[in-house]
Amino acid sequence: MKFKILINTLFILSFSVFSDEVAIEEKISAILPPGTNIEIIEESSFPDIYKVYYGDIQPLYVSKDGNFFLYGDMFEIKSSQIINLTNIDITQRRISLMSEINNDELISFPSKNELYSVTVFTDVDCGYCRKLHKEIIDYNKLGITINYAAFPRSGIGTETFTKMVGAWCSKNPKESLTNLKDGENLRLNFCDSQPIAKHYTIGQKLGITGTPAIISQDGQLFPGYHSPEDLLDKLKS
């Protein structure tokens, strides 16, 4: 009997959440710009408040009836401390988006004494990306593994995009990427498995607008170039 009551209770709660999500999707979709789609609706830490992700790394906080929303930082007062829950939500969202990139899609320069592993969204025609790459040995010596994801700033289908497809599809991606960052022209290579467009789309969802953009395993974003020593200090903190 108790088991049956439990099942019925869970069903009612599930149906209630589903009904809330339907109401939220209907009302929020009506006010979003054309072509913008809701990606995720999930319960937040606050009673009767949902998080809505729609292509921006920062969520909307929406009432369960969809009639009210907030775009901004949400805070919790806990044991006389103020906790920025929006920063936590953004970090968790970054980790979730990064999980969509498989390790074999990255061009990796591993450290032999790895302490940290970061993903760097890079553009082969970006000056500071080239500067970072010239110091790859120094990052590795400090225990930092560099994993490259592609983010051609000019967009999909551009000349830079095509160059990066060539590097990822080459027989030696590490060498090809290095040559491109040295300003060399490569023979064009194409393959069905290239992830350039996928990486670019994920980068946009992460809120990346420039390169290099460095993301740690715990979801921190460090925009721009950081020297090996500076990056190590940030990863330690």
Q: How many CB atoms lie within 10 A of CB 21?
A: 19
Domain ranges of the chain: 2-90, 103-236
- Quote the radius of gyration of the chain (alpha carbons, Å): 22
- Residue 18 reports pLDDT greater than 90: no
- Residue 9 reports pLDDT greater than 50: no
Residue 12 pLDDT grade (very low, low, confident, very high; cuts 50, 70, 90) = very low
Domain boundaries 103-236, CATH class: alpha beta
The residues that bridge with 123 in the sheet, in sequence order, are none
What is the CATH code for 2-90?
3.10.450.70
SS3 label, residue 82: strand
pLDDT in tens, 90-121: 999 999 999 999 999 999 999 999 999 999 99
Instruction: Look at residue 193 in the predicted model and tell me its pLDDT.
Output: 87
pLDDT in tens, 61-80: 999 999 999 999 999 998 88
Mean of the pLDDT values across residues 126-146? 98
